[in-house]
Structure 1
Amino acid sequence: MRASLASVSFPHVQLAANPHDRTGVHRSDDAWLDERWADPSSRVLVVSGTRIRPVDGRLQWLSPVEAPDGLRVLLGEQDGTTYFAVVVDPDEAPGEKAEWFGLRGILPHLADRGLDEAPLVFHAIGLAEWLFATRFCPRCGGTLEPRAAGHELVCTGCGKGQFPRTDPAVIMLVTTGEPGSEDERCLLGRQSSWPEGRYSTLAGFCEPGETLEDAVRREVDEEVGIRVGEVAYFGNQPWPLPASLMLGFVARAESTEIRVDEHEIEDACWFTRAQMKAGAEAGTLVLPGGVSISRSLVEHWYGGPLPGHW
């Protein structure tokens, strides 16, 4: 019998299970910020451009006095501790550049040792990615100055303010057949750049003026030629790579003939639960990583954990 969604603790949910208080009301309170920065119990994560350096498999949270000069970003408070990030130029970051990793390289450390850190790290990296990408005012091309503890950029020319952006992306598991039956199948696809045997759920960005459900239907039709009817919301996951919010859905197919676009998708296949289990155990089917909402979608449909991952 398949497990219910409520009875399963999915890794993508665990990554957001301990959110911090973002203390937005203090972002422009210079006196409060100075007081918290002067407190030796406050913790600081150093971000080199958009990268973080783990030491001995763990992320380093420094005291303010240990932190290098850079743009101070207020992350918020958690369990009585105030957290900051300091964003520094990669050329001025301590250590070798090879020691610094992007978020994809950090995810295994978060999953293995630091699930409680994940919301703080996602917040820090998301802002760092936005600061890196937003160099000039999009209205007049003027110089931007950071405000609100790193959460706003204001043009020195026209005065227009810029705020962090999040791009909604839909990610979906498409199914066909009698729900819960041995013959029910789910659809997985692969890109040509992936190693042999790697398959995942389909995904794509929501376009302007489009509902999330229609984005699911359009992306599935464009990528594999499958017509989708019912679309049910599953869950979401912040994914600052560089600035996405992954919105997960389970979609019911109204057609089954696959026609891959050969641009984004190289191959797509229908899998029964028995075929998925056999492939995962043999290593011929390599499923998404455990911390991704894609993995959660697959295991929710399958009804339990599966071996192997990216």
Structure 2
Amino acid sequence: MQLSETVTFGGSSLDRAAEMRGDAPKLKALTDSDASRAVLFWRGKPLVAASDDGLTLAKLSMRHPILTGLADPVFLGRESEGTGYFAYELRGWVPEGLDEAALQEFLDQSEQTHPALTEGQHFAELRAVMTRVDARDAELAATGKAILGWHATHGFCAACGVKSDIFMAGWQRICPVCKTHHFPRTDPVVIMLVTRGNSVLLGRSPHWPDGMYSLLAGFIEPGETMEAAVRREVYEEAGIRIGHVRYLASQPWAFPSSLMLGCTGEALTHEITLDPVELEDALWITREELMEVFAGRRTDILPARKGAIAQFLLSNWLADRGE
């Protein structure tokens, strides 16, 4: 495995068994298997469980009572020994004493428990637990969150407006009238490790917690290459011209449906000109200064959150590690 594949949500190599999605008999046999397991979500938050090692993604029996009456699940994949994984969305339940404001915070730290579940099982924001579960659990959680989120927001045919039906074990929707097939959406985003000599460019958005800085990022536009997007985004947000661009690593980011494409870009200019709509601040920071940040010895600048590809790219730059 390459270093680039060890990023959070990557490197698990889950067998998604796409050939089974349209095979109803085989899929039913897997659904009915005692070995198969359900991964449950509530408002996009996966169900996790405390374990001796810290935290795991809860995997329920396909016959668990809480699944009764829920919509058909999405088939996520299978293990080599035949265990199938299916993602369910728990709808219509409102936890007692729910704090709606907590759900809207930058990083939702709230946890919800359901009376039908066992002690230690709770729903948690994926960003808050993504570094506490193993690679397979992280991939299952990110995949389930992304595909269920797509179904929640794309329930009608974009061609004729009729309510569409779930198809291919959840990996397509099909219009019953015009027969148009709709596929899950993934939005490509470039995130840039922009360097000039011994310094790297960091920026912060206005809505971020005080002191938090990260790498610049932006969506790739239609008809645009990844390299062109890097150069355009950095110039638009910080006024820096970029020369050579190189791809480093990628990370699926199910918040809600992005694929982060980590790149490095060589800055040709130094002076920063901010776009105040996109950035509240941007600065150059040396390798030695960034090491102080990562060591927690500075209070004015906080590092990118653990588990995000920005933190992965920066930590490997500090260690002078390549792909």
Deviations along 1:220-260, one digit per CA (max 9) or x if unpaired, are: 00000001011011110011111110000010001110001
The normalised TM-score by structure 1 is 0.87
Moved over 6 A (4+): 93-96, 100-103
Q: Rate the CA distance shift 1:196–1:86 in 2: closer, same or farther, 3 A.
A: closer
1:161 offset after TM fit, Å? 0.9
| Structure 1 pair 62–234 and aligned structure 2 pair: CA distance change class (3 A) | same
| Pair 1:28 & 2:22 matched | yes
**Aligned match of 1:194:** 208
Label 1:266 to 1:11 Cα distance change in 2 as closer, same or farther (>3 A): farther
Of residues 74, 86, 89 in structure 2, which corresponds to 1:87? 89
The answer to whether structure 1 residue 64 and structure 2 residue 62 are counterparts is yes
DSSP-derived class of the 2:291 partner: helix
Counterpart-to-counterpart distance in 2, 1:46 and 1:251: 40
Count of aligned positions: 291
AA in 1 matched with 2:185: R
Aligned partner of 2:257: which letter?
A
Q: Percent identity at matched positions?
A: 34
Which structure shows the bigger proportion of residues in helix conformation? 1
1:248–1:297: 8 Å Cα contact kept in structure 2? yes
Identify the match of residue 302 of structure 2 among 249, 264, 286.
286
Given that 2:42 and 2:123 are in contact with CA atoms closer than 8 Å, whether structure 1 keeps it comes out as: no
Mapping 1:115-130, distance limit 5 Å? 115-130=135-150
Provide the rounded CA distance (Å) in 2 between the counterparts of 1:262 and 1:50.
Answer: 31
Mapped to 1, the partners of 2:44 and 2:214 lie a distance apart of 26
* Unmatched tracts of structure 1, length 5 or more: 1-5, 178-183, 306-310
The 1-side partners of 2:242 and 2:95 are apart by: 51
**1:76 is matched by which residue type in structure 2?**
G
> Aligned partners of 1:93, 1:123: CA distance in 2, in Å?
24
Contact 2:4 2:249 in 1 (8 A): no
Provide the rounded CA distance (Å) in 1 between the counterparts of 2:133 and 2:47: 15
Q: Retained in 1: the 8 A contact 2:237–2:274?
A: yes
- After superposition, the Cα gap between the structure-2 partners of 1:96 and 1:160, relative to the gap in structure 1 and judged at 3 Å, is farther
Give the structure 2 partner of residue 168 of structure 1: 188
Any residues of structure 2 matched to 1:129-144 within 5 Å, and which? 129-144=149-164
Residue 218 of structure 2 is aligned to residue 207 of structure 1 = no
